[in-house]
Amino acid sequence: AKRIGILTGGGDCPGLNAVIRALVKGAILKRGWEVVGIEDGFDGLLEESKMRPLGLNEVRGILPRGGTILGTTNRGNPFSYPVEKDGKLEIVDISDRVVDNISRAGIDALVAIGGEGSLTIALELMRKGVPVVGVPKTIDNDLLETDVTFGYNTALETATYALDKLHSTAESHHRVMVMEVMGRYAGWIALESGIAGGADVILIPEIPFSIEKICESIERRRSRGSRFSIIVAAEGAMEKGGNRVVKSGPDLRHQVERLGGIGEYVSRRIGKCLDMDSRVTVLGHLQRGGSPSTFDRCLGSRFGIKALELIEKGIFGEMVCLRGTEIRSVKIEKAVRRLKLVNPRGQMVNAAEELGIMLGR
């Protein structure tokens, strides 16, 4: 019999529990395997007390629940782990200990459910001899080699719903409403929710924006009789020729510190060139929470089953993925070589522009 370990790493995302449930059900019911749940991402590989058996009882009723029953954290990269030494923080490599713990727990295969960061760690563990299977997860949809990740669809639903709500109040008050959405370095959430929610302007990191151009387009709308406008700004969006503070790195906090958030920044700047009232809504972690959509539940469940099939065949170092309507797998290293970004000249951007949406350029 096999014993598989499951962990969820990085930011949480609707659909994680669907994957966990599928792994547990498929492992126990069809294969007679044991499942070990590892708590709090890679951190859970450091202590035995954070590993617990997962049976059918543990996954009962979790399908519609957001988040992850295993807990997660952005910490715990065993290859660069912060430890305190003489009152100072030092970054050390504790991966040998982690590899030992995995084999001591009798884990024959580790399923790592995560985004680009977690999958990179999984890949490095694989290179140290741990049999790993990856399951892609992120609301940002910025992972290569899969058409889409679960969590993204639910985030889009939330953002679209919020845009619908903003429309009625924007229209009543003749205001410009700026809605800031997540997505890190990618503009997918902004672009697709903006198209679905009927935005007038969409700002994405892949297309640096000009404030003047935005103001011109809002003025144009006004002269045609629309006395309100809706702007969707991806958190990573940047102004042309400046203010691009972060080019790489794990998050956008530097930018937030400098600009007070891109939504706030855009609203402040357009307030100077337009004689219109504007307000900002930062959607934030609402996009990550709550019950997964039908699509995400189904995709997560199918990913979980595919991961078991890979383990069964002894295929490791691969990540499950969606290609068209088929679930397949691909080498993890192919998926983590760079982020999947919006093509500024691609079909989706083109469609938005033909719909009369202004992309800030």
Catalogue the active-site residues: 140
Q: Which stretch binds ligand F6P (CB under 6 A): 27-35, 83-91, 180-188, 308-316?
A: 180-188
76 is in an annotated binding site: yes
Q: Which stretch binds ligand F6P (CB under 6 A): 51-59, 136-144, 165-173, 204-212?
A: 136-144
Instruction: Tell which positions 198-217 bind ligand F6P, by CB under 6 A.
Output: none
- The CA distance from 290 to 302, in Å, is 20
Choice from 183, 197, 261, 360 touching ligand F6P (CB under 6 A): 183
304 is in an annotated binding site: no
Q: Which residue has its beta carbon closest to ligand F6P? A: 182
Q: Which residues contact 166 (CB under 8 A, 6 or more apart)?
A: 177, 179, 230, 281
Tally of helices (H runs) and strands (E runs) in the chain: 12, 13
Residue pair 89/82 in contact (Cβ under 8 Å)? The answer is yes
Residue with smaller CB distance to ligand F6P, 34 or 235: 235
Q: Which stretch binds ligand F6P (CB under 6 A): 65-73, 125-133, 178-186, 218-226?
A: 178-186
Residue pair 230/198 in contact (Cβ under 8 Å)? The answer is yes
Alpha carbon of 252 to those of 4, 185, 224, 354: distances in Å? 35, 8, 37, 31
11 is in an annotated binding site: yes
Choice from 175, 221, 288, 297 touching ligand F6P (CB under 6 A): 288
Instruction: Tell which positions 13-72 bind ligand F6P, by CB under 6 A.
Output: none
Choice from 184, 297, 306, 340 touching ligand F6P (CB under 6 A): 184
- Asked if 238 touches ligand F6P (CB under 6 A), the answer is no
Alpha carbon of 66 to those of 30, 192, 219: distances in Å? 26, 22, 41
List alpha helices for the chain, DSSP H: 16-25, 56-59, 95-104, 116-127, 152-173, 188-196, 211-223, 253-259, 262-273, 294-313, 332-335, 347-354
**Would you tell me the crossing angle of helices 211-223 and 262-273 to the nearest 10 degrees?**
60
Choice from 34, 39, 43, 140 touching ligand F6P (CB under 6 A): 140
Q: Which residues bind ligand F6P (CB under 6 A)?
A: 11, 74, 138-140, 182-184, 235, 251-252, 288
**Which parts are annotated binding residues for substrate?**
138-140, 175, 182-184, 235, 279, 285-288
